[in-house]
Amino acid sequence: MSGSGAHFAADQWMTRTTDVKESPVSHLTQLKEIRERARKQIMEGAVTPDYALDRDQAIGILNEALATELVCVARYRFHYFMATGIHSQAVKGEFKEHADEEQEHADWLCERIKQLGGKPEMNPATLTARSHSEYKEGSSLADMIREDLVAERIAIETYREIIQFFGDKDPTSRTLLEKILAKEEEHADDMADLLFAVDPGSIKTPDSAKASRHN
């Protein structure tokens, strides 16, 4: 091979080698595009283009959960102030604790709704219409506990459905609802125990249910 031919072959080899070494540039280009897109969509907050759910629907569902929590806060606080009777002091403590925890759940939901680019719906005029559970006061201590237990059971059932809705498409919202659900289940157990203590006839134990079937 002549000297000029050798130089030409070497130049071709260097060009191919350079091309191989420069392949990561495509990754840098993609990274640059991602950064530019993020800056353009900065007002979208935590929502990126690959969010797999209908965002408006997701926000609407979370606002229903928020309404449920806020109605629960109001009901528990009313019961805290109005509870009377021989067992009232112990029960009032549970009402207050549950009200505070439901408020914390509401705060978490507000944060998530805002992250998704939505607005927490907190208009008192429409809260009860959007809440899964009703606002019922109850006339006696047992009635109050019973209404709270019913509300907790409704929340548990609806939150399980909501968790299924978010699934793997929005793991952040799903994990949040799972955290809230665990606390609602604890609340339901607390209310069931209190109702049994205040009004034993209201709660059917396995033994009592068995006895009623035999009678």
Judge whether 65 and 162 are in contact, CB under 8 Å. Answer: yes
Cα separation, 134 vs 114, whole angstroms: 25
CB 69 within 8 A of CB 105: yes
Q: Quick check: 31 pLDDT over 90? A: no
pLDDT given for residue 39 in this prediction: 59
pLDDT digits (tens, 9 = 90+) for 37-78: 655 544 555 666 778 899 999 999 999 999 999 999 999 999
* Contacts of 92 by beta carbon, 8 Å cutoff, 6+ apart: 80, 83
Q: Across residues 177-206, what is the average pLDDT?
A: 89
| 151-175: pLDDT as tens digits | 999 999 999 999 999 999 999 999 9
**Residues 6 or more apart from 114 whose CB is under 8 A from it?**
45, 120
Q: 55-201, what's its fold? A: Ferritin (1.20.1260)
Eight-class DSSP state of 2: -
Alpha-carbon distance of 188 to 149, in angstroms, equals 6
Q: Nearest to residue 187, comparing CAs of 109, 63, 95, 107? A: 95
Tell whether the model's pLDDT for residue 12 goes beyond 60: no
Residues 6+ apart with CB under 8 A from 44: 117
Domain parsing of the chain, residue ranges: 55-201
Per-residue pLDDT, 86 = 84
Spatial separation of the C-alpha atoms in residues 97 and 76, rounded to whole Å:
9
